[in-house]
């Protein structure tokens, strides 16, 4: 499947029905388009099976609740719909996007309690999120935008509006020839990349930012479990920028990113070392097991 995302063959599940890809449209006055009342999940299928599928569906419901709306489909119904989308499009290795949003209705202002909640699921083939950086090590810029305080946003929801500063940061990074950008949080601690969590290695131990103001990714949690199974100490803590000079290795985790080594962040450089390579290969083996 190739071409612009609104001009492809295939089917998209939308509000309980399979519709033609090009016909999966919403009205201009959809509330989410104006006020970001939208949540989503990014998932990957391997050999026809979506990795951690139910956890993603459960988080979609959690995110919707954080934005004060209820998805009118149960986790079981979402699970069945995702599988249906894969099968009807003949996909086995694919990316899956589920998105729920407040649609067009009687309200057209900040308040939208009268508007229907809608749900759609699409799937397509998608290769390495960072291209050959998965093997060579990604290069990251340092974003000027910071992850906000939990007092200002529903920071643990996977909500569309929270990615506005991520888009700005990634565009700026790409303009400098980088794959992505590292973001600090509102206190100045190292936080995450624009769509992936960060891990660092020092003296055989792993350090990762504490997710107290950003998303605690499902892939992040998976990789922590893999490290703990190997008896490798993992420190979830606040990390100051000046500590980056002391770390030997670094990698990113995310459903789209999977496990991707990092070779450079700003002026800091990292080795694409044995542990980073091991986590890339071990994660690949896990999702296909």
For residues 117 and 162, membership in a common domain is answered with: no
For residues 108 and 180, membership in a common domain is answered with: no
For residues 241 and 115, membership in a common domain is answered with: no
For residues 139 and 272, membership in a common domain is answered with: yes
Residue 127's pLDDT band (boundaries 50, 70, 90)? confident
Distance CA 163, CA 169 (A): 10
For residues 254 and 149, membership in a common domain is answered with: yes
Domain boundary among 95, 124, 153: 124
- How high is the mean pLDDT of the chain? 96
CATH code at position 151: 3.20.10.10
Percent above pLDDT 70 for the chain: 99
With respect to residue 281, please indicate whether it lies within any of the assigned structural domains.
Answer: yes
* Angle, alpha carbons 161-162-166 (nearest 5°): 110
Per residue, the 3-state secondary structure of the chain, as one string, reads CCCCCCCCCCEEEECCEEEEHHHCCCCCCCHHHHHCCEEEEEEEEECCEECCHHHHHHHHHHHHHHCCCCCCCCHHHHHHHHHHHHHHCCCCCEEEEEEEEECCCCCCCCCCCCCCEEEEEEEECCCCCCCCHHHHCEEEEECCCCECCCCCCCCCCCEHHHHHHHHHHHHHHHHCCCCEEEEEECCCCEEEECCCEEEEEECCEEEEECCCCCCCCHHHHHHHHHHHHCCCCEEEECCCHHHHHHCCEEEEEECCCEEEEEEEECCEECCCCHHHHHHHHHHHHHHCC
Domain boundary among 55, 89, 124: 124
Distance CA 145, CA 194 (A): 10
For residues 71 and 193, membership in a common domain is answered with: no
> Which residues does 139 contact at the CB level (< 8 Å), separation at least 6?
133, 177, 178, 179, 262, 263, 264
CATH code at position 32: 3.30.470.10
Residue 130's pLDDT band (boundaries 50, 70, 90)? confident
Domain boundary among 72, 101, 124: 124
With respect to residue 6, please indicate whether it lies within any of the assigned structural domains.
Answer: no
Residue 209's pLDDT band (boundaries 50, 70, 90)? very high
For residues 34 and 172, membership in a common domain is answered with: no
pLDDT tens profile 215-236: 999 999 999 999 999 999 999 9
Q: Is the model's pLDDT at 155 over the cut of 80?
A: yes
pLDDT tens profile 159-186: 999 999 999 999 999 999 999 999 999 9
Q: Is the model's pLDDT at 1 over the cut of 70?
A: no
Whether 139 is a known active-site residue: answer no
For residues 142 and 23, membership in a common domain is answered with: no
For residues 177 and 277, membership in a common domain is answered with: yes
With respect to residue 4, please indicate whether it lies within any of the assigned structural domains.
Answer: no
Which residues in 238-270 are b (16+ Cβ under 10 Å) and which e? ebeeebbeebebbbbbbbbbbbbbbbbbeebeb
Percent above pLDDT 90 for the chain: 95
Residue 74's pLDDT band (boundaries 50, 70, 90)? very high
For residues 157 and 267, membership in a common domain is answered with: yes
Structural domain boundaries, residue 231: 133-287
Q: Which of 11, 82, 134, 158 is catalytic?
A: 158
Residue 51, φ and ψ in degrees, nearest 5? -70, 130
For residues 161 and 96, membership in a common domain is answered with: no
With respect to residue 1, please indicate whether it lies within any of the assigned structural domains.
Answer: no
pLDDT of residue 88: 98
In the predicted model, what is the mean pLDDT of residues 204-213? 98
For residues 195 and 61, membership in a common domain is answered with: no
Domain count, the chain: 2
The residues that bridge with 50 in the sheet, in sequence order, are 45
pLDDT of residue 228: 98
With respect to residue 2, please indicate whether it lies within any of the assigned structural domains.
Answer: no
């Amino acid at each position: 499947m190739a071409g612009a995302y609104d001009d492809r063959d295939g089917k998209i599940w939308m509000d309980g029905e399979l519709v033609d890809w090009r016909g999966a449209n919403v009205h201009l006055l959809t509330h989410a388009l104006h006020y970001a009342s939208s949540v989503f999940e990014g998932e990957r299928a391997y050999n026809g099976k979506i990795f951690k599928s139910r956890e993603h569906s459960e988080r979609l419901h959690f995110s919707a609740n954080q934005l004060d709306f209820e998805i009118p489909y149960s986790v079981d119904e979402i699970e069945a719909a995702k599988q249906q989308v894969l099968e009807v499009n003949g996909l086995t290795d694919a990316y899956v996007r589920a998105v729920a949003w407040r649609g067009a209705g009687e309200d057209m202002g900040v308040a939208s309690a009268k508007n229907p909640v809608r749900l759609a699921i699409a799937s397509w083939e998608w290769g390495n999120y960072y291209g050959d950086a998965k093997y060579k090590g990604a290069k990251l810029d340092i974003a000027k935008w910071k992850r906000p305080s939990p007092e200002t946003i529903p920071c643990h929801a996977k909500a569309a509006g929270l990615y506005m500063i991520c888009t700005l940061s990634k565009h700026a990074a790409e303009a400098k020839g980088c794959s992505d950008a590292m973001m600090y949080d509102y206190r100045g601690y190292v936080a995450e990349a624009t769509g992936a969590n960060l891990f660092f290695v020092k003296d055989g131990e792993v350090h990762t930012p504490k997710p107290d103001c950003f998303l605690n990714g499902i892939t992040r949690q998976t990789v922590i479990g893999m490290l703990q199974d190997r008896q490798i100490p993992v420190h979830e803590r606040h990390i100051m920028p000046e500590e980056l000079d002391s770390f030997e290795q670094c990698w990113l985790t995310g459903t789209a990113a999977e496990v991707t080594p990092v070779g450079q962040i700003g002026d800091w450089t990292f080795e694409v070392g044995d542990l980073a390579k091991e986590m890339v290969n071990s994660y690949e083996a896990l999702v296909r097991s």
